[in-house]
Amino acid sequence: MDSALGNLRILDFSRVLAGPFATMLLADLGATVTKVERPGSGDDTRAWGPPYDETGEATYFQSVNRNKDSVALDLADAGDLARARRLARAADVVVENFRPGVMDSHGLGYDHLRAENPGLVYCSITGFGRGAGAALPGYDLLIQALGGLMSITGPADGEPQKVGVALVDVLAGLFSAVGILAALRHRDATGEGQRVEVDLLSSLLAALVNQASAYTSGGVVPQRMGNQHPSIAPYELFRAADGDLVVAVGNERQFAALCDVIEAPELASDPRFAGNAARVEHRVALREALVARLGTRPATEWAEALTAVRVPAGVVNDVAGAFRLAADLGLGPVVALPREDGSTVALTRNPIGLSATPPRYDSAPPPLPDAARPTTPDQVTA
């Protein structure tokens, strides 16, 4: 095998972000993914712009749909529905993120398909599960609000803030990919498929990690703290002479080194700052002392000096700066994928490194399919 998932066939009914992100990750690892789209308009994100690339394609759609084929099927049309069922019967994995009950109404639910395809792995992504929250709309911003993330994001005296990317959808996509791979491992051992269920709310709650356990295990309801950390200090943003600087001290050696670099050794010996718990308790006084010193030199100078003594520190990059940094570090953050017309599109590479079966980058996100003509071999035979 020249790819980790080279024999895997995935039929992807999902739209927008969580499902397409999951199937793109699996496509990068070699799976053959056929994306099912609405005739005429396709995936919602095809219209989510600006920004657009040089060909007029929405960059949102481009971000999660590489290495896929696409077919236009109207599930309300008897002929298209029959084709969808045939494709599903031949698939190893089906992924969908419709409201609970929609796929069942078309005869494409898990119980329908597993009767003819017992080895099928069927992944359903919902907003709030199939129970009492089945009818609730699962939009990322709504989940960030209802799931507590906005309550711990933003300044302490400001309004709740969303994260600058649809983080819950990304998390749900990652959990879905892990669940699918676990189900396939089980199928390899037993020959039996199973249903994989991931909901956005549970994905967010799981991703709250220490903030969640503060509540579940400690009875503490976390609050917004701006750029400060609830359990570590100093671990935050500081204003330097010319810009912003992040300092992330995680242990005593790093704190002592920080004090040496800023020429304030008295802070290291101050009993108020002797140990992380003490620094957290006296974080206001510690911040005042650090602000007074860090404001005397440019952020880049502090970052270089602190990094030299292995104290985690850096300036706040914009997205362009982040990609430049990754390139400078030899991480190769961008890949160019070929389009059907011979042009290319630049996208972020898959971060997974595999020594024997690395991710592949065979094709750009597919153009909107012509519903009147087959575009893949599977469509022809179906």
Strand spans (E) along 163-285:
194-199, 235-239, 244-248
Rounded to whole angstroms, what are the CA distances from 269 to 22, 137, 260, 272, 289? 50, 54, 11, 9, 14
Report the distance separating Cα 47 and Cα 60, nearest Å. Answer: 9
| SS3 label, residue 65 | coil
CA end-to-end span of the chain: 26
Handedness of CA 342, 344, 345, 349 (dihedral sign): positive
Element (H, E) at 12: strand 9-12
Given a contact cutoff of 8 angstroms between Cβ atoms, the answer to whether 185 and 241 are in contact is no
Fill in the DSSP letter of residue 46.
G
Given a contact cutoff of 8 angstroms between Cβ atoms, the answer to whether 4 and 27 are in contact is no
Question: What residues are annotated to the active site?
Answer: 169
| SS3 label, residue 329 | coil
